[in-house]
Structure 1
Amino acid sequence: MNTLNTKITQLKYIFIALLTVAFISCKNANTTNTSVGNLTSKMTKPDKKKYFDSSNSVVYEVKYKDDGFKLRTASSDLLWKVKLYDSKVKISDNEENLNPYEIKKMDTGESKLEKNDMTIERSTTEDARNLVYKIDEIPQDQQEILISELKEKGF
């Protein structure tokens, strides 16, 4: 009987250890590492994700729409509006989507970054979302969030 109780106690400890590992893995699953710090993200509503800094303060939020998403400040001011299409993405700093940057995937296997019909940079189709790094007016931590969100959306 003592052997059975010992085995049950051992199984309980193993079970608790596995639950702890699973919990930590789930908690870390929404972490976005940036070169300017470590931001964690959490879905706060079905259509909203918030990004937190290391002191657990909200830094950014992403609001999802059927055709894209918006990156906003912690106080919900628009930073970047992203509209998704079959073979391109538009990124603008205004609600009206005026003068957007466009990342286009072309049939040739290339992609290109344009603004006002002027090509800024070319890349491969597989690397299209990384053209966000070529948009100098977007700070690096915001670029990394946009790239991460584009990846999640399958672009």
Structure 2
Amino acid sequence: MATPHSRPPRIHTPVKIASLIVGVAFLLVGLLGFIPGITSDHDQLAGTGHDSGAMLFGVFQVSVLHNLVHVVFGLAGIAAARAASAAAIYLLLGGLIYLALWIFGLLIDKTGPSNFIPLNTADDWLHFTLGVGMIALGISLTRASRTTAPSYDNEVTRGDDRRIG
């Protein structure tokens, strides 16, 4: 029996699940960037800059900074998954950040000091894919949540567990 002060049941909306999955993936990728064998030429892992020779999965150029950004971005996604609105913002804003990073990667000299992250062509196109994918998830799953999830806003619970309002 619900009381007027009881909380509504936790609803695991698709947008929250997507934020959690994306966050865990970023966290995992960030950690994998520090593991020799998964990251080739690990002995050439630099703190920052285009001269880092380490390659995650032998394809994506990484540095300590690059890996830490993925770890922080992953933790943010996991934290955002606690609320649907935060999850949607994480996916949308994160997608925009990755699209901006894609454009940045296309415009810079990959062998110059402006490539401080570092980025290579594979990183650029992965950032494009992540940006588009995260935005698509944020938009489509937020719309889906609005049409399918029950709302508990502005409702008062009666003692017999029926909703008023």
Which band: TM-score by shorter chain?
A: under 0.3
Structure having the larger proportion of residues in helix: 2
Name which structure has the greater RCO, CA cutoff 8 Å, separation 6+.
2
TM-score of the pair, normalised by structure 2: 0.23
Structure having the larger proportion of residues in strand: 1
